[in-house]
Amino acid sequence: MSNLTGRIGTFFSSESVLRNLASRQQSLDQAQQQVATGKRLLKGSDDPSAAAQAERAIMRIERIKSEQRVLDLQRNNLSLAETTLGDSVSSLQRVRELILMAGNGSLDGSQRDGIADEIASLRKSLLGHANRQDSNGLPLFGGLGSVAVPFVETSNGVQYKSLPGQMNSTEVSLPGVLDGQRTWMFVPVRDGVYDASFSVNAGGLRSTAPQIADLSKLVDRSYTIEFSGTGYSVTPAVAPPLSNVPFVSGDTITFDGLSLQVQGSPMPGDTLVVNPTRSIFQAIDNVVAALSGASSSLQVTQGIQQALSSVDAGLRQMQTSRGQAGELLNTADRITDTQEARELLLEETRSRAEDLDMAEGISKLQSQQLAYEIALKSYSQNQKISLFNYLD
């Protein structure tokens, strides 16, 4: 058996020591950067799986922040809309107070004209509330439309020019505007708000405001009740037909889902007209017309009674919309809480994937410093291994 003797050259030994020293220095630099930044992952190649997990978490966090910014804008709009509705309810309640005040029999024509002027001023204020815009110039009550001014004065009264309806809420967002038609306008077959007024009233008749008898039978049209003295007829034709029906003072007249009562002794030709009231603004216009230059106390009484019924319907709609806005604001708070919880979970996921355990990192840094110092000493000793040093 022969003995094998290996020989390692001085150059190879030096190269090996230098490579070890460079490796130790690189590990030390990495440990220092990890401690300085607090990050375990300095680049994707350190741990590709963890880096991908952290990146996904960061993207989801940014999406949540973007959704929250949109939600904050929607919350601000809804808060402004709720405040606007609160102001509108106060104005409409003031209108109601003035209508009741106008019913005082001791007031003369000029005093009622003054009340009518104040009501007209409040009506103008209400129209401004209906067209109020958010900070971006978009209407708060635009519904599903995109017009800048949803409520427009026309020869037929205030018209809603936007698209009725309202967007649905999602898990992360809310509608930024409310349905103006549902808030400020009346739909006859939905709300049943009608106005009854005498075009001819020689007999001094009195009528109650039309009430809903059957919502499913309501029809969007006007009616005329003409009295013959002992009877009455309703046109256009209704089912069942009401033609030459014997009239009894105080009896209820019912047709197409509506009912009302007429009291007094009619004269032939007396005529009661029943028209749909299409908005809160029209209801106010009707009472202003009844109070301004009223020819008789009977006309005032009739106009006041009709107006109170319509204004009460308007108050109910406004308060319903205000309650809806308040519920949406509560929903916004719930969404924010949910999003914050999701963001916290995602932040924990990201932290587990890329953040450094400082205690572990400092311990590793100390170990790398010690290893580097040993490598330096090894390199220093290796430099002394030379034939010339041996000969010396």
Give residue-wise pLDDT tens across range 70-119.
999 999 999 999 999 999 999 999 999 999 998 887 888 888 889 999 99
- Say if 390 falls within a structural domain: no
The CATH number given to whatever domain includes residue 144 is 1.20.1330.10
- Report the alpha-carbon distance of residue 349 to residue 59 in Å, rounded: 12
Task: Clarify whether residues 323 and 270 are in a common domain.
Answer: no
Residues 6+ apart with CB under 8 A from 19: none
Task: Clarify whether residues 204 and 115 are in a common domain.
Answer: no
Task: Clarify whether residues 270 and 318 are in a common domain.
Answer: no
pLDDT at 314 over 90: yes
Residue 94, pLDDT score: 97
Whether omega for the bond prior to residue 240 falls within 30 degrees of 0, making it cis, is yes
Q: What global pTM score does this model have?
A: 0.78
- Report the alpha-carbon distance of residue 61 to residue 278 in Å, rounded: 48
Task: Clarify whether residues 347 and 317 are in a common domain.
Answer: yes
Residue 161, pLDDT score: 94
Task: Give the residue numbers spanning the domain of 262.
Answer: 188-276
Task: Clarify whether residues 155 and 39 are in a common domain.
Answer: yes
- Report the alpha-carbon distance of residue 332 to residue 322 in Å, rounded: 15
Task: Clarify whether residues 157 and 41 are in a common domain.
Answer: yes
- Say if 108 falls within a structural domain: yes
Task: Clarify whether residues 193 and 205 are in a common domain.
Answer: yes
Q: Give me the half-sphere count of Cα atoms (radius 13 Å) on the Cβ side of residue 140.
A: 26
Task: Clarify whether residues 89 and 162 are in a common domain.
Answer: yes
Partners of 159 in the β-ladder: 152
Task: Clarify whether residues 177 and 195 are in a common domain.
Answer: no
pLDDT at 152 over 80: yes
Task: Clarify whether residues 144 and 90 are in a common domain.
Answer: yes
- Say if 288 falls within a structural domain: no
- Look over the chain and give the mean of its residue pLDDT values, rounded to a whole number: 85
Q: What is the mean pLDDT of residues 41-55?
A: 72
Residue 6, pLDDT score: 45
- Say if 380 falls within a structural domain: no
| Per-residue model confidence as pLDDT tens digits over 331-382 | 999 999 999 999 999 888 877 777 665 666 677 656 767 666 666 666 666 5
Task: Clarify whether residues 115 and 193 are in a common domain.
Answer: no
Task: Clarify whether residues 192 and 339 are in a common domain.
Answer: no
- Say if 361 falls within a structural domain: no
pLDDT at 328 over 50: yes
| Per-residue model confidence as pLDDT tens digits over 187-235 | 999 999 999 988 898 988 999 989 999 999 999 999 999 999 899 999 9
- Say if 362 falls within a structural domain: no
